[in-house]
């Protein structure tokens, strides 16, 4: 709604560095660190100055609203002990290690169901199988930093891909990983 303030402060590159409580940006779920990438169906290539010009132009033309696209900032979460409280599943088609479930402790740290685990201690999980990822998480020294990125429209099915694995230190339940 172009008649209301967006309520987002941007750095020169179009990255949100301040979100006003109760403002449009907050209501739309924009978070600090998210980057404006598209406005009015066109890619932003010149940062905040271009963003401001396009909004001003849309207002001048009498548009009541405009579509904006943001790249959501990753969540970097540090775990100091096990269990991590997340269930993973690798989607081999999308090539992503997705979070299928997160207990309250993991959720409170910022882990969201449906997000992708993209890095462990800043090492990207490229071309790794679910078994490789699970082994790395079992063997890694604590504390460990995991990077999660929200993704859209990707689901992990409960098929033979072994998608239901809880990363835990429990050894008494078959689908659990230590």
The tokens for 69 are 């696209």
CA 131, 112, 138: angle at the middle one, nearest 5? 30
Q: What is the mean pLDDT of residues 164-174?
A: 34
Predicted TM-score (pTM) of this structure: 0.65
pLDDT of residue 138: 92
Q: What is the mean pLDDT of residues 67-94?
A: 90
Whole-angstrom distance, CA of residue 43 vs CA of residue 175: 44
Band of pLDDT at residue 167, cut at 50, 70 and 90? very low
DSSP at 13: T
Q: What is the mean pLDDT of residues 7-27?
A: 94
Percent helix, strand and coil across the chain, each to the nearest 5: 20, 30, 50
Q: What is the mean pLDDT of residues 42-46?
A: 93
- Residue bearing the bigger pLDDT, 77 or 167: 77
Average pLDDT over the chain reads 84
* Element holding 144 (H helix, E strand): strand 144-149
- Residue bearing the bigger pLDDT, 120 or 128: 120
């Amino acid at each position: 709604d172009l008649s209301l303030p967006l309520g987002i402060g941007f750095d020169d590159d179009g990255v949100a560095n301040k979100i006003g409580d109760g403002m449009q940006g907050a209501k739309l779920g924009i978070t600090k660190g998210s980057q404006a990438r598209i406005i009015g169906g066109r890619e932003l290539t010149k940062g905040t100055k271009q963003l401001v010009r396009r909004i001003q132009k849309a207002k001048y033309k009498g548009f009541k609203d405009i579509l904006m696209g943001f790249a959501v900032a990753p969540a970097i979460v540090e775990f100091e002990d096990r269990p991590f409280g997340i269930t993973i599943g690798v989607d081999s088609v999308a090539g992503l290690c997705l979070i299928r479930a997160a207990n309250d402790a993991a959720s409170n740290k910022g882990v969201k169901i449906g997000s992708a685990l993209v890095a462990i201690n800043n090492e990207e999980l490229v071309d790794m199988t679910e078994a490789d990822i699970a082994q790395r998480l079992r063997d890694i020294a604590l504390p460990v930093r995991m990077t999660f990125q929200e993704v859209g429209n990707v689901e992990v099915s409960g098929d033979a891909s072994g998608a239901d694995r809880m990363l835990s230190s429990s050894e008494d339940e078959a689908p659990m990983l230590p």
